[in-house]
A and B are shown apart, each in its own frame.
Chain A
Amino acid sequence: GDSVTQMEGPVTLSEEAFLTINCTYTATGYPSLFWYVQYPGEGLQLLLKATKADDKGSNKGFEATYRKETTSFHLEKGSVQVSDSAVYFCALRGYASGGSYIPTFGRGTSLIVHP
């Protein structure tokens, strides 16, 4: 079945450091890929997405490129801020029977940014 694997956290960085959170996936067909962010005490919200190979999703300084050859969708940011401290989830659109689809989430990676 479909699956998403993320690097384990927490990832601890100083402000203005470069961020990479690795995400790889296993899926049938050609899934869409997502990064969601969960700030403390809140629900998840979409950060960015990519719907086909070589697409780059971007938002709030974060970027991720859909790499079909390596089945990866790594999240990057050039200069993190304290306000980026959150849990980040990689996800894909999977396929259920009957042609409908349900999302599959990774386990989440906690990011802690120190001043």
Chain B
Amino acid sequence: DADVTQTPRNRITKTGKRIMLECSQTKGHDRMYWYRQDPGLGLQLIYYSFDVKDINKGEISDGYSVSRQAQAKFSLSLESAIPNQTALYFCATQDGRQETQYFGPGTRLLVL
């Protein structure tokens, strides 16, 4: 089984809808991240969490919120989706004592 899983893998939604993307990990890592990937822009950090009680904004947090329900789960919400939030979203984990990040397979989101 994959160490970092994301659900759903693909999602189509309409402008104004609230949606949630979920990330779960079995690696036991304390740190978790949410990124979005747009063609030609690389990865942009949305939010990150260093433990269950620690949530931090990244460079593009406007329009997004997160919840760290447990060490293994980190959810990303779009309160009112808009078309320019159409992108590929990745969750990543990291052991705080190490430097390598481990990425999920991504969620492809289309906002109509």
Contact = CB atoms under 8 A, between A and B. Distances in A.
Query: Does A pair with B?
Result: yes
A108 B42 contact: yes
A109 B23 CA distance: 26
Interface residues of A, number: 21
Interface stretch (B13-21, B62-70, B75-83, B101-109): B101-109
A43 B90 contact: yes
A102 B48 contact: yes
A88 to B, nearest CB: 11
Interface string A6-46: 00000000000000000000000000101010000111111
Contacts of B43: 44, 89, 105, 108
Most buried by B among A32, A41, A103, A108: A103
Interface string A58-82: 0000000000000000000000000
Contact of A46 (B100, B104, B105, B106): B100
B41 interface: yes
Nearest to A41: B105
B interface bracket (residues with beta carbon within 8 Å of A): 20 to 34
A63 to B, nearest CB: 18
A56 interface: no
Contacts of A36: 101
A43 B42 contact: no
A106 B37 CA distance: 11
Contacts of A102: 33, 45, 48, 58
B72 interface: no
A44 B40 contact: no
Nearest to A100: B50
A32 B103 contact: no
B1 interface: no
A43 B100 contact: no
B103 A44 contact: yes
A28 B32 CA distance: 23
A89 B42 contact: yes
A106 B102 CA distance: 17
Interface string B27-71: 000000100000011110100101000001010000000000000
Interface of B: 4, 33, 40-43, 45, 48, 50, 56, 58, 90, 92, 99-106
